[in-house]
Amino acid sequence: MDRKLVGGVAAVVAVAGLSYYYRQRANRKTAEDGSSLAKSASYPEIERLLADYSLRIEQLRALVTDFQREMLAGLHGDSSTLKMIPSFVGRPSGQERGTFYALDLGGSNFRVMKLELCGDGRLGEAHGRQFTISKQLMHGDADQLFDFIAACVKEQVNSDTPAADSSSPSPPVLIGFTFSFPVDQQAVARGTLIHWTKGFVTRNVVGRDVVELLDAALQRQQLNAKVVALVNDTVGTLVACAYADTKCEMGVIMGTGCNACYNEKLAAITKFSGHGRGKADDDGMIVNMEWGGFGSKSGADMLLPLTTVDRQLDLASNNVGGQFFEKMVAGMYLGEIVRLTLRTHPLFQEIKVPYSLDTEYLSRALGDNTAELSGIEQFLTSRFNLNWSTLAARQLLKRTAEAVTLRAARLSATAIAAVLSHTGRLNDVTVAIDGSVFEKVPGVKQNMEATIKQLYPDSSVRLVLQHDGSGLGAAIIAASV
């Protein structure tokens, strides 16, 4: 197809995506930078905060520059708010084959999956189960957590093993372990936890090799299994998409937390000695950015446009002074930002419990297009016993949700654009994204696409949902070892 035609179509699609957001805000003044605010003299503090959430294109361009500077520092091993961790794997060939188990630990839910890879980018049989990580385990000891994980694996493996064959010798179960927390990875199957995120504070794990901890727990369960690959969920997402799409260059998580990875030339990772390079080759190595920590500096060095609400949320968190980018864009925090923004309103100040206004509700609020916003009214009544909301209050809640999620979308898109610009791959490129914020929050995908187009008008970037990519990616990496 003619490149000019393709570019024209992409531009039309981007404009249509941005207009999606504006159509939801009819009868309000529309600003050129992608936000609109219907002023209300009754609550000036709320209006000021909503104005602060609006990001001008000049701010986003400055963030691209700052982001790329932090990338280079991280790649060189210098001080940076982006960790830029080598993954020791490259993109898949698409010909990986075999049956593998994939474990996915990235929050309060833990999954065990059995997957069959058929080559040629095809997936065969795939099934598994989800288990819940209790608060007790999240706040307990290392052995308790990993013994629970190993017991879940054993339960799934036993259910997959026919009873008639249970007494016969069997080959070891090969496992790809998706561990979606900041890890200092030293080899394909070796990495130490740097620090916990997502509410985990499990003792005696930080600074230890999580593969060793899991292998030891599997042995205590007397299960013939071996972890052959340690995978970050973003790396798994990229690999899962690239198994069938050779133009995939980035993997992004936009769910409870946030992170990204991309394929980098080995020569650019100057802090990497080359030891234990695994399956990475001259085409590059996937780098786990840990971008949730971007901008987490103090004072005049702060890179992100924080509001008073952002700072209040940070001070009440269990990782004060860290993960500022994540706290502005991740699903764990968006509902709390809305709650704190509305705290001076007499109706919403009744919602006193932190994090009780979750992102799932924001999705429902954003999707409520009834004249009286009856869906929002019903939720306020059933969830918080607030049966006296006015239409004006419900409109203010929806408008606040729009402003907060628009900011999250534009910040995330800016980070993606910065990475692709750094690699020189802004045309005919795929970005694989997994997570509930991207998948379920209305308008996020369209606003991200429009923001990238606003920053780089000649770009051609496909943002695609890679559902459950972390599990499939772990199996593919296990097959490539």
**Residues with a known catalytic role:** 111, 180, 233
Residues 6 or more apart whose CB falls under 8 angstroms from that of 223 comprise: 150, 153, 154, 157, 173
Query: What are residue 421's phi and psi, to 5 degrees?
Result: -65, -40
Contact between 406 and 443 under an 8 Å Cβ cutoff? The reply is yes
Tokens matching residue 190: 């070796």
Question: How far apart (Å, rounded) are the C-alpha atoms in residues 448 and 461?
Answer: 10
Question: How far apart (Å, rounded) are the C-alpha atoms in residues 55 and 40?
Answer: 20
